[in-house]
A and B are shown apart, each in its own frame.
Chain A
Amino acid sequence: MALTRRIIPCLDLKNGRVVKGTHFEDLRDAGDPVELAARYNEQGADEVVFLDITASKEARKTIIDLISRAADQLFLPLTVGGGIRTNDDITAILRAGADKVSINTAAVQNPAIISEGAAAFGTQCIVLAMDVRRNFQEAEGTNPIRLPDGSTCWYEVVTHGGSRPTGIDAIRWAKEGEERGAGEILLTSMETDGTKEGFDIPITEAIASATSIPVIASGGVGTLGHFYDGFVYGKADACLAASVFHFGEYTIKDVKEYLAAKGVPVRL
C-alpha cells in the first residue's frame, strides 16, 4: 500500500456560516460549519479546510470560537485560512485546535510571513494558498503554459479574493513559497472556481511538477471524473471541493469509491 491521495472538503465561512459562491461572488448559505465538519468526519474526509472570508477584522474573532467548537468534533487534520498576517494570528488559530494555516494575500504582501511561520511552527504547518488567473498578454519572466485549445498564456497570482492582479507569475511564486518553507500549496484557479467544469489542469500539473511539496487542486469540481482528472492529469496530491459536498451531490465516500475503482489510491 502507499500514501493515499486526499479528498478535502472546504468550508468557506462568512460571519460564522458556511457560504458558497461562483467566482468568489454571489454567496449562498450552505449550513452550519460545526455540523458540516462533523458530517465530513463521519463520511471519511481526509482533512477539512476552513477559509474565513469575513471582511471585517472584528467579525473575524468569531472564527476562533468556531474552530474550537469544530475541532472538538473533528479527529482529522484541520487547516484554517483567511486574514492571517502574523505569527500571533497563527498561534491563536493553532491553539483553538487547527493543525495548519493557509496564507494567501498576506504572503504576497509580506513573503517573510511564510519563512517566519515555518521557522516557528514547522513547514508542515504552513500552507501557501494561491489564487491564479490566466493572462494572455506577454510579459517578461513569466512561464508560458499551453492550454488544451492550443493557445498559450501565463498564470498570474491574484489577491483579495481574486479581485487584484499582482503581476506575479504563479509558477515562480509557488517555487518561492516552497523555498521559504511552505509545506503545501493550495492552488485555486479563478478560471474554473465555481464553474463545475473541472479543475484547471494545465496550471495544476505545471505547479505540481515545478515543486516538490504537495499540491492541493481547488476550484471547479462538478463530477466524479473531475477528481480523477485532478489526480491523474493534474498530478495533484489532494483535491479540494466545496459545493458538491455541501449540497449533497456526492458524499466523500462516493468520490473515494469511484477513484478506488479506477486505481487511484485512497483511504476507504
Chain B
Amino acid sequence: MKKRIILLISLLCFLITGCNEEKEKLVLATEASFAPFEYYQENNIVGVDIDIAREIAKELGMELEIKDVYFDSIINEVKTGKSDIGAAGISYTEERSREVNFTINYMDAKQVLVIRKNSNIKKIDDLFKKKIAVQLGTVADDYLTSNYPNIEIIREKKFLAAIEDLIDYKVDGVLMDEIPAKELLNDNLMILDEPLVVDHYGMVISKNNQELLDVCNKVITRLKEEGKIDEMLLSHMGITTKKDNKSLYDKFYDSIIYDSRYIFILEGLRNTLIIAIGAVILGVIIGTTMAIIRNVHDTKGKFKILNYLARTYITVIRGTPSILQLMIIYYVIFKTSNVSIILVGILSFGINSGAYVAEIVRGGINSVSEGQKEAGFALGLSYLQVMKHIVIPNALRNILPALGNEFITLVKETSVGAYIGIVELTKASDIIASRTYDYFFPLMIIALIYLCITLVLTKIFAKIEKRLNHVRN
C-alpha cells in the first residue's frame, strides 16, 4: 500500500513538473474568447494581441507563454506578478490605471450595441428600461452602470453567454466592442449604428516594471508606424466560421472533432483528475491528522494548542467558499513565487477537503464502540496500537459512504480551478464554445464525463465497502 502511494505521488509530481519547464518566458495573461484579438485556432491561442505580444517577446529575446484566464482576473494576474503582460482588448479606464500601468493605445474600439434584427430598439434613446447584457468588468459594464441607471444590466462572465442571452430573448441587447461584435453577427443579429462610446485598448503591465512598459511602448509605436497592427487585424478578421442552420452532426463535429478540439477535453480531463486525486490524498492526510488530534484531546486531555489550531482550521475552511480559498492561496500566499497552478489547485482543494474529512473521520472514530477499545487496552495494547489497528479500520468502514460523497463533491469542485487559469473540464468546454459559439455539445459532453467519473467512484466505493463489510460471495 505504502509503495503504491509513493508511486502515485511521484507520478503526480512528474505530471505537474512536466507541464512547467523552466525557461526565460514572457507570460501573457488573456482571455482567449475575444476574436479577433485572442481566440483558439487549432488548439493554439492566436489573435491581434498575441501577434503584438510576440513582437514584444521577440524584442526582449524571450519566449512567449500565454495564460488563458477569466477577463476579470487579468489585472490581478499582472498586479501580483503572476503574469508579465495582460492583453485582452483591455480598454483604458481611470480605475484600472490606478492598479496597473497601461501601454500607449494600440487600437481604438467603439462600444456598440448588438441587437436582434427584429428588435424594437432603433436608437440609443430606446434603451430606457430595457435589459442589456455585458461582460462583467468590461468598459461596457462600467459605462452602462455609471451612465444608464434606468437600464437593467445583466453581467455575464463571458460575452458569449451575453450573446446567448440575446439569442434566447433573455435580454434586449448586448453592449460590447465593435470588432469582436462584427465577428459574431449572423442572420438574426445586427449592430445598432450609433456607437455609444469610443475607448482605447492598451496592454497592462505591473506598476513595478517600468522597463517592460518602455519596451512595449517602443514596439507598439513601431508597429503602428509600420501599419502592422491594421495588417494583423485584417488577417484575423472573418476567421470564425458561422453557419446558422448547422445540422446536429455538424455541431457535434465542430465541437469535438474539427481542429482536434477533443484535445481540450482530454487535457481538461487530465488536469481535473490530477487535481482531484492529489487533493483527495492531501485531504485524507490532513483530515485524519486533525481528527486524531481532536480525538486525543477529547479523550486524554492532551494537545490543547494543537486542538485549538485544528478547530480554527476546520471552522475557517468550512466557513469560506472554496473559490475564495483558491484565489487567496494563489494571489496572496503564492503572490511572489512561481508555483505551478496545478500544484496550487491540489493544495487549495486538498486543504479545503481536509476540513470536511476531519469531521467525517472524527465522527467515524466516535462511532467505534467503546467496548472494542477497552478490549484492546485490557490486552495491554497502547493507545496508538488500538487506534491504528482497531479504531481506524472500523471507523473507515463506518465513514466510507460519507467519504465517497466528499470525494465526488471534490471532483466537481475542481471546476472553479478555471479562475486561476487551470484548464480543467469546465474550462475546456468554455474554450470550445468560444470557438463554435455553441454551448450545447461541449457542456453535454463534459457533463457526461463528470457523470462517468462519479459512476466509477461510486463503483469503487461500493467494492471497498463490500470488502470491508466481509460480505462473502
A in complex with B: no
Q: Which residues of B contact A (CB under 8 A)?
A: none
Q: Which residues of A contact B (CB under 8 A)?
A: none
